[in-house]
Structure 1
Amino acid sequence: MVDFNDTKTAFILKSDAQLRKAYWLFKLVANKSLVGLGKKASSLAIKLGLPIRTVVKQTVYDQFVGGESIEECEPIINKLQEYNVFALLDFAVEGKETDADFDATKDEIVQTIKYGAKRDGIPFAVFKVTGVAAFPLLEKYSAGKAFSELESRAWTRAKNRIEEICYTAHKFGMCIMIDAEESWIQKAIDEMALEMMQRFNKEQIVVVNTLQMYRVDRFSFLKESYQLAQDKQFKLGVKLVRGAYMEKERQRAEELNYADPIHANKDGSDKSYDEGIEFVLNHYEDTLLVAGSHNEESARKLAGKMEAKGIAHNHPNVWFSQLYGMSDNLSFNLAAGGYNVVKYLPFGPVNETLPYLIRRAEENTSAGGQSTRELGLIQQEIKRRGLD
């Protein structure tokens, strides 16, 4: 059985200096008020054009982001590969609104696919639909409202970008993951993901949709997606995660007076996630599963279920996934045990990846948050190396 407390394996890539730096960083992000202050200060600094680039790059950026370009990520990709951990390149620039920006983002995603296809160690690429399509457009479509003529043309352009991304992945033999987003735009994303799967997932799994299992409707949607794949004779690809927008989802549901789309408590989300994993594992021969979780118990359960069902550790249809800079005790110990592991490796200019970095910092401050566990493991490794 995999030992997730093996810190020697977990931090094998980190030098003593990097380990100490990670310790102080997680110590800082564990402080909610400091993170809140940092969020406001960084937003203000960008608006005022203040030179915060160096400070950000040498702290949170280095911990959670691979580099400003694909080329800058290469040393990290090579190091990960040395220890059988795969990389998933994620162009982490967000919040764009013009067609020119959407086209530029699409071009960058296409480049990550082509780059990944020509070298080992990068089986997947990923994109957010809001990176190539306007949020209000996705919201209007998801609400079932009619488009104006102008909006219809914008919608066609957005679909063309998504189609080009998926076609490129198909042409170059890569998998492309589509990230999940807010529930009030997810209907549009789901429909496009399933449409792309019907086109490109006939022979092999190219397009992978992401399901946030903290939503009360996602387990039934998973089963419906599988049934559609059977009926239309294509292969289903899914990444299962718990979810990333809980506070925003609850707040909007309350403000607009509709039923909260999220499970009432963590137990409900955990049960939904576990049921989703079990369902996909029961169909693993014709369905791709990427289990995106930093939860140790979830990783242990999945490894145990694979064992019980006689699924090979390195079966091409089952993957564990974590974010770069987090949960190395899961990633590296699973990889050492022969399991397929892929790290989300974001890249992009420092200023433009700030929304991504702020989310990572906030994620680590949450109650019972990631930083407590990360700190404990780092302290354990510092002690093991005799650095304390």
Structure 2
Amino acid sequence: MATKFLSPKLLNTLPSFTRFLNSASTAPIAAVSPLNFDEKPEPAAAEKQLTSLNEPTTTTTLDLYDHQKLFASVSTWKLVRSSATLGLASNERFVDFGMWVMNSRLMETSLVRDVILKTVKHTFFQHFCAGETTEEAADCVRRIHDGGFRGMLVYAVEHTGDNAGCDRNLEGFIRSVEFAKSLPASSVSFVIAKITAICPIGLLRKVSDLLRWQYKDPSFNLPWKLNTFPIFSDSSALYHTLQKPAPLSPQEELDLQLAHQRLLRLCRKCVQDNVTLTIDAEDTSIQPAIDYFTYSSAIMYNRDDKPTVYGTIQAYLKDARERLFTATKAAESLGIPMGFKLVRGAYMSSESKSASLLGYDSPIHNSIQETHACYNDCASFMLERIADGYDAVVLATHNVESGKLAASKACDLGIRKGNQKLEFAQLYGMSDALSFGLRNAGFQVSKYLPYGPVDMVMPYLLRRAEENRGLLSASSLDRVLMVNELMRRLKELQFACQVRDGISK
């Protein structure tokens, strides 16, 4: 029996889709469900057409417990180092102390700073990052490719305040695309970019405010706005914009145009070099502007059934389902293929704190179970679309159950292993057991590979430490399997030594 994929309540919220495409237009469009762009089916019909990932499927494809098979290609030294690093990273007291040191005035003393950065470089940076230079990152890509994985190249710059910095960051992203092109064929799956690196952060906040206000008041005119897909739903977090914002000044409109030109230049480079670009998500205060940039460039460059530009959906947000459904259906109506990276989210602490300070409910689901259900529903929706010949998805997850369910769902739908429209992904240095299990089952698996100088990548490492405490604690499966494999190898070594000693006697 099929479980409920879309609740009647969710279906009733989809009139937000009437703000479809360039919302400078206020012409009414009939409300639709994400199942049929032309008419709204009854909820029962929706339940019959789609099966949630949360319902058990019949095919089991992953073996995540045979530690000898999973870690066969990993050296003993790397197992020891990885196990120790993950153990430290999952210790909250150690993480708190480390973050205190990194944010303290100790970092203002050059000698102390050098010692700390060198310590970080040879521990956490080495474990979670691909290297400081393109040469080091290239070696990392080749190593993981030899192990059956692909790389998602992340030139780890973000949060820039001026146009000069944005121009420098764009050149870094351009070099990242050229770098990807120079590596062995199929060893790089995506180049990752952050809009905060090529558009001043203050401008992103103001554009997000203006977009939120236009959603509240469709008659509110934004003369600079390009064609886009629906950005909001009725459950989206709109509390960041409590009063009508001032329009962009002439200089801000020029800066916005410059930022858009940077993104289009990056997209053209990706098309030229046949490299796929994924735009990372950030917190809800600036995410509307990020989606606006992403969707407007996707309209221009996603063609021929192959998305060049992927967006990111964070499933821990209460509006994630609706926004995913409405954006994909709007794109489908125009014949534009969409690609999405589906993640749970990495700004839980800051989102909850921001909402609380403003006196509003958090935009994040109230329980981890609701987040899991949302992720699985969104994954199921995208897998069904792929099976029907639409769109593409990167299922970026460290959750073993979601990985198992998605793999089984893909098999049940007849999505062939190696299908270019389906990719699984995990952070480099995280959830290796799941990565190896998915690889062994025949699926394409990527590792998220941030690279750059240690001091430049530090914000990424600090954010991972602060926002992903639960994720790092959840690495216990990896640690248990690593320890079991190390014990097996030790016993094997002891046995070999005993045999050798017996022969020598």
TM-score bracket, normalised by the shorter chain, equals over 0.9
Distance 1:21 1:232 in 2: 50
Aligned partner letter, 2:279: I
Q: Which of these residues, 129, 136, 139, is aligned with residue 72 of structure 1?
A: 136
Could you tell me which residue of structure 1 aligns to residue 397 of structure 2? 293
Distance 1:141 1:109 in 2: 23
The answer to whether 1:122 aligns with 2:188 is yes
Distance 2:151 2:347 in 1: 24
Q: Which of these residues, 200, 213, 225, is aligned with residue 134 of structure 1?
A: 200
The answer to whether 1:14 aligns with 2:57 is no
Shift in alpha-carbon separation, 1:216–1:365, aligned structure 2, 3 A: closer
Given that 1:30 and 1:364 are in contact with CA atoms closer than 8 Å, whether structure 2 keeps it comes out as no
Aligned partner letter, 2:82: A
1:135-284 matched pairs, under 5 angstroms: 135-144=201-210, 145=245, 146-203=247-304, 204-284=306-386
93-102 or 255-264, which moves further after superposition?
93-102
Could you tell me which residue of structure 1 aligns to residue 224 of structure 2? none
Aligned-pair distance for 1:13?
Answer: 4.6
Aligned partner letter, 2:166: F
How many residues are aligned here?
388
Aligned-pair distance for 1:369?
Answer: 2.2
Identical counterparts, % of pairs? 30
TM-score by length of 1: 0.95
The answer to whether 1:380 aligns with 2:484 is yes
Distance 1:11 1:147 in 2: 54
Distance 2:257 2:181 in 1: 28
Aligned-pair distance for 1:48?
Answer: 2.8
Distance 1:185 1:93 in 2: 17
1:26-65 matched pairs, under 5 angstroms: 26-44=86-104, 45-49=106-110, 50-51=113-114, 52-65=116-129
Given that 1:84 and 1:335 are in contact with CA atoms closer than 8 Å, whether structure 2 keeps it comes out as yes
Q: Which of these residues, 345, 350, 356, is aligned with residue 454 of structure 2?
A: 350
Aligned partner letter, 2:74: K
1:365-376 matched pairs, under 5 angstroms: 365-366=469-470, 369-376=473-480
Distance 2:458 2:72 in 1: 28
What per-residue deviation string (whole Å, max 9, x for no partner) do you get for residues 179-212 of structure 1?
Answer: 0100111111111111111111121210000000
171-180 or 258-267, which moves further after superposition?
258-267
Distance 1:334 1:222 in 2: 25
Given that 2:177 and 2:191 are in contact with CA atoms closer than 8 Å, whether structure 1 keeps it comes out as yes
Aligned partner letter, 1:46: M
Aligned-pair distance for 1:9?
Answer: 4.1
Distance 1:109 1:13 in 2: 32
Distance 1:381 1:154 in 2: 54
Distance 1:175 1:368 in 2: 29
Distance 1:93 1:172 in 2: 22
Given that 1:9 and 1:329 are in contact with CA atoms closer than 8 Å, whether structure 2 keeps it comes out as no
Shift in alpha-carbon separation, 1:10–1:357, aligned structure 2, 3 A: farther
Aligned-pair distance for 1:102?
Answer: 1.4
Aligned partner letter, 1:109: F
Aligned-pair distance for 1:68?
Answer: 0.6
Where 2:188 maps in the other structure, the secondary structure is coil
Given that 1:129 and 1:189 are in contact with CA atoms closer than 8 Å, whether structure 2 keeps it comes out as yes
TM-score by length of 2: 0.74
Distance 1:166 1:367 in 2: 32
